[in-house]
Structure 1
Amino acid sequence: MSGRTHHEDRPTLLPLPVTAATLLEDRAELTRTRELGVLPAGVHRLRLGPVTPLVVDHSLRGELTAPDTDTDTGAGSGSAGRVLDLRVVRRWTPQPPAAVTGGPGADASAIERQVHELSEQLRRAELEVARLTSRVAVLDQLLADLQRAITEGTGAGEAQPQAWAEELDRAEVAHEEHAEALRDARHRRRRLQEQLIAAQQAWEEAEERPMVLSAHIEASIELPDGVGEGAELVVRHLTPCALWRPAYRATLTEEGEPQPQLLLERDAFVWQRTGEPWQDVRVTLSTARPTRAAEPPYLAPDVITLRERSSEERRAVEVDLREVEIPDVGPEGAGAEPAALSPVLPGVDDGGEARSLVVSRPLSVPSDGRAHRVALGSATAPASVELSCAPELAPVVVRTTRFRNGSGEPLLSGPVDLVRGGGFVGRSELRFTAPGATAELGFGSEDTFRAVRTVTESRETGALTGRSVRGREVGVTLSRFAPPDAVPVRVVVRERIPVSELSAVEVRLDKDRTAPPPDAVDADGIVRWELTLAPDERRTLLLRYDLVAGRGVNLPD
């Protein structure tokens, strides 16, 4: 490689490929490396590229590393020089021909496709001409060697006229055939060149090639004396249109094992549409958000005023119902199937602590904007399988699997492809799970069960005491349709009752009218029954509770 000094007008454009990429939640930090070769001491100006026009200018930084310097840590024994200036130069240029970009696009015109086809035919014709030219040259050498051998043999008195005649005839016939083929190939090449020139002229007259935005980096560096071959220029910058998201694949194995086993494969989806492909790039996946703390949040004024309550407000208390999601669903929590995934791409949930995942092998990611799945690792853990039903959420029985995260690393939130019995059964979502914590996955509904839920309400108010009592009766009928030889199975049914936060409102579970008695009622109001159903068996559950409010308390409708 040869560099040009600062007084020259237009240095040579040198490649600056992407060698490492750190993918964040909504952008990426790219690392580019260029070996400088042997350059004299002094100031040099380099044109590096092409690079993506999406380079974030204020994030551009560079450094020179000596041959014994670690590019990741910057540790080294010698100084490789200084980077005086880095800047991105963008310009609009005509779109490159299809031969450079890999072929015409789907919206290309007929004349553009014709130009591309003629270019491919001309390229093949030139290869054929080169092959035949080499073959004819070999045959020319063969004829010259045969003639020299005949001359030497005749002078030495070793005449073999019959053998010499046969060899000369074979060589001349082959030479004539290949020479004729070479003349035809050259004629075909000349005809294709004329057709291509005519097609290109017609294309230029009929269409105007659109302009595309290209970019390169101009770097001014200063090299001291004694910098040998092996010094590198390392350039880092941020770019949008590149991101990643975690993904999983869970395979449940129940047959042939004393305890069900769950194989959880950790993957990552990688997207990038920066305008340049990445070839053999070291990829790191990070959950850091470098721009979140760049600007403080806007604080809106919150004005609190005091006023005297009216006499009616003193006499009455307004009560409202609200839905609260239980943050930690453990073995005693609800076992309903997770909600459907949002069509909007969610963010990366890392539990509040930035984490980095290193991909073990270099990746090649084209700039097509498509999701590319990358394997990160896998682990097998024993699992507990439960048939659970939450009729208030869905009238189905779900096969729920719980397992402990024993990988030593947290499991980030992400979609999970579910596999059971050797086939794909659906898709679920895995919540953030700390190391050693228990995670829960729903492996779809069981078609042999059907649940029907009914709700009946009643209201009464005491004439003397003024207390209002609102009763609610929830009935659940669970049926199982299975062959007669099927074994009985255990199903866990969960319902809920309200939990009061006011002393003026009391929630009473009517144990006498609740049948059968529940197996457990936790502090969050989750009522649980454990039922064993045989084939073609039907069980009916009845849950009765009352909301009791004192005088002056208005219960919601």
Structure 2
Amino acid sequence: MQIIDSAISSVTVFGDRAEVTRTADLSLAAGEHLLLFDRLPEKIEQKSVQVNGIGNAVLASVKFKVAHYEEVPDEDKKALMDEQQVLEDELAHLQNKSTRLSNEKKFIENITVKLTTPIEDDVPTLDPAEWDKMFAFYQQKSEALDEAVLANEKEQRVWKNKIKKIAQQLQDLRYDDTRTKNQVEVIVQMKAEGNLQLNLSYIVYGAQWSPFYDLRVSTEAKKMNLTYNALVTQTTGEEWQDVALKLSTAQPQVSGRQPQLEPWRVDVGGRIAKEDLRNTRFEAVADLGVKSEVASMEEAEDAMDGFGGGGNEQMTKATSGVETGATSVFFSIAGRHTVKSDNTEQQVTVMMEDFGTKFEYSAVPKLSSYAYLRAKVTNNTDYPFLAGTTNVFLNNNFVANASMDTVAATESFWTFLGIDEGIKVERKFLKKYEKKEGKLFGKKTKNVVYEYELLVQNYKKTTEKITLRDQIPISHHDEIKVHLLLPAYKEDTDQLKKDKLNRLQWMYELPPGKEEKIPFHFALEYPHDFSLTGIEDM
């Protein structure tokens, strides 16, 4: 049996695991050879092991094995002992520094005592100014020395903990006779003497990657530069040294088989009062409307015309290759990369691209007194953008941290760019009163009117477009009626839209210095003996 020397040549990282490929270059005589890949990682998935190669040979057998160490490998011991020595040397250096700091502090204290202690009943002749200088010097030096001593003690604790950990690992090596190692045994038949490249691939757990984005927006050029980054971490037990790296959007943790519907049976469980039945039926209808309405609001926003400009710009060269499969995408990261098995984050760049964009402001004065700038971008690349955090830079200045949802290739999306105090928004409560006259409502009911005013002001030097959002209540009872009084609404227009969840949005284009006041009134009609919940008590 020949234990072969192999090195990791490439790694494909998924959301919670990685596929590792090891390569061994061999020169073998004609005939059958029993070859062994030794000391493979502990977290390997046994059924994932595959072997292939290049050479004039036949692969006869592949076998996964778990073997016990006959003795602790000398290289393991030596590596730990060498690390222990380095740590102890550093700790000794810190302890020597601690001694020097202590001596320096005693020296300063001795000088102070000497200068302030009378000799043979003679009082020191220092004038007040000199006394002030001396005490200032003593205070400054003492504070600096105290901080240095504290920092040194903290650093010593860190190194002592590291030494303790190494000592425990050495102890485990001496007394643990149950240590095992994973191996793959390969039998190949060489047809003739020659060279053979043998590739072993396997899935190993303890690896992951996550996306984040740098968004650099130029409002003047109406462009967004998007840098698609990834953070790769791993604790697989193997060092990935100078490897070709791929990232995959595949989700192997999700079953590839579609779930099956089981019979849905309904049985008698008791009687329901008429009132409860009516409320239950209403809530069920409302729930069914939520999903369709979310889609309709997004479609309505995408259909808005005249909100910003900017066309497609010349694409720049991507920093990684992209391979689109039937169900997933693979990003081939440029260059070679090293990722240590200690959960240290390794940042890589997936792509960098300029996009044409259009801007508008958006505000929800009920919830926030700020106007938020947002940009609409079309992903005209082959790269899907996975959900992740963003660092937003506006005109070369960092302005906010935000987030992006998953965006498919060719899909358009909005992304927020932070607040802009050049646009002021406010929601004013004007009054609440009970309406007792008029023919708008029946006399057997109580009618309460709520009056608000939305205020938006443009303090910028350019004409800006803004969407304001607010809402009126939704009734969950047949005898509670909600009436929108102002603004007058019959159907969606270019300036006013309302969805099935009673959310309203106003679209305005404000010239510089322009102020817009928007009346917003609604009324609640309900029986006198009802006590309402969920309504603002003004």
Gaps in structure 1 of 5+ consecutive residues: 5-10, 68-77, 116-202, 336-349
State the distance in 1 between where 2:423 and 2:169 align.
66
Name the count of aligned residue pairs.
Answer: 421
The aligned runs of 1:198-237 (5 Å cut-off) are 209-211=170-172, 215-226=181-192, 228-237=193-202
Q: Equivalents in 1 of 2:168, 2:383: separation in Å?
A: 57
Distance 1:289 1:391, change over 3 A: same
Q: 2:24 aligns with which of 27, 34, 38?
A: 34
Q: 1:530 aligns with which of 499, 503, 508?
A: 508
Is 1:80 aligned to residue 80 of structure 2? no
The reply to whether residue 363 of structure 1 matches residue 329 of structure 2 is no
Q: Superposition RMSD on alpha carbons, in Å?
A: 4.5
Asked whether the 8 Å contact 2:224–2:355 carries over to 1, the reply is yes
Cα shift readout 1:227-276 (whole Å, capped 9, x = no counterpart): x4232222221111111122222111123x3xx01111222221112122
User: C-alpha distance in 2, partners of 1:353/1:508?
Assistant: 49
CA shift, 1:501, in A, is 9.6
Q: 1:207 to 1:309 in 2, by over 3 A?
A: closer
Deviations 1:379-407 (A, max 9, x none): 21211111221223422111111111111
Pair 554,27 (structure 1): closer, same or farther in 2 beyond 3 Å = farther
Change (3 A) 1:232 1:404: same
Q: Which residue of structure 2 aligns with residue 287 of structure 1?
A: 249
Displacement, 1:457? 6.0
Shift of residue 211, structure 1, vs aligned partner: 2.9
Specify which of 54, 58, 75 is matched with residue 66 of structure 1.
Answer: 54
Is 2:207 aligned against 1:242?
Answer: yes
Q: Deviations over 1:139-159 (max 9, x none)?
A: xxxxxxxxxxxxxxxxxxxxx
Q: Name the SS for the 2:47 alignment partner.
A: helix
Greater gyration radius: 1
Q: Deviations over 1:291-314 (max 9, x none)?
A: 422788798996533455445557
Query: Residue 390 in 1 paired to residue 368 in 2?
Result: no
Cα 1:299/1:408, change in 2 over 3 Å: closer
1:545/1:96 CA distance change after superposition, 3 Å: farther
Distance 1:243 1:440 in 2: 27
Are residues 548 and 318 of structure 1, via their aligned partners in 2, closer, same or farther at CA, if it must alter by over 3 Å? farther
Q: 1:58 to 1:459 in 2, by over 3 A?
A: farther
For 1:46, the aligned partner's letter is L
Distance in 2 (alpha carbons) for counterparts of 1:512 and 1:385: 26
- Is the 8 Å Cα contact of residues 316 and 554 (structure 1) preserved in structure 2? no
Name the CA distance, whole Å, in 1 between partners of 2:171 and 2:361.
61
- In the TM superposition, 1:113-262 aligns within 5 A as 209-211=170-172, 215-226=181-192, 228-255=193-220, 257=221, 260-262=222-224
Amino acid at match of 1:66: I
SS in structure 1 at match of 2:486:
coil
Match of 1:124 in 2: none
Identify unmatched segments of 5+ residues in structure 2.
94-163, 174-178, 305-323
Which SS does the other structure have where 1:81 is aligned?
strand
Partner amino acid, structure 1, of 2:418: G
Q: Among the aligned pairs, what percent are the same residue?
A: 17
- Cα displacement (A) at 1:443: 0.9
> What's the TM-score, normalizing by structure 2?
0.64
Matches within 5 A, 1:345-494: 353-454=327-428, 466=444, 471-478=449-456, 486-487=461-462, 489-494=464-469
2:519 alignment counterpart: 542
2:362/2:466 contact within 8 Å kept: yes
Q: Whose strand proportion is higher, 1 or 2? A: 2
Task: Tell me the secondary structure at the aligned position of residue 199 of structure 2.
Answer: strand
SS in 2 for 1:378: strand
Structure 1 residue 361 displacement after superposition:
2.8
Q: For 1:18, which of 1, 5, 8 is the aligned residue? A: 8
Displacement of 1:442 = 0.9
* Residues 137-194 of structure 1: CA deviation (Å, up to 9, x unaligned): xxxxxxxxxxxxxxxxxxxxxxxxxxxxxxxxxxxxxxxxxxxxxxxxxxxxxxxxxx
**One-letter code aligned to 1:494:** R
Q: 2:309 aligns to what?
A: none
Change (3 A) 1:313 1:459: farther
Deviation for aligned residue 1:487: 4.7
Q: Does 1:100 align with 2:79?
A: yes
CA distance, structure 1, for counterparts of residue 74 and residue 262 of structure 2: 49
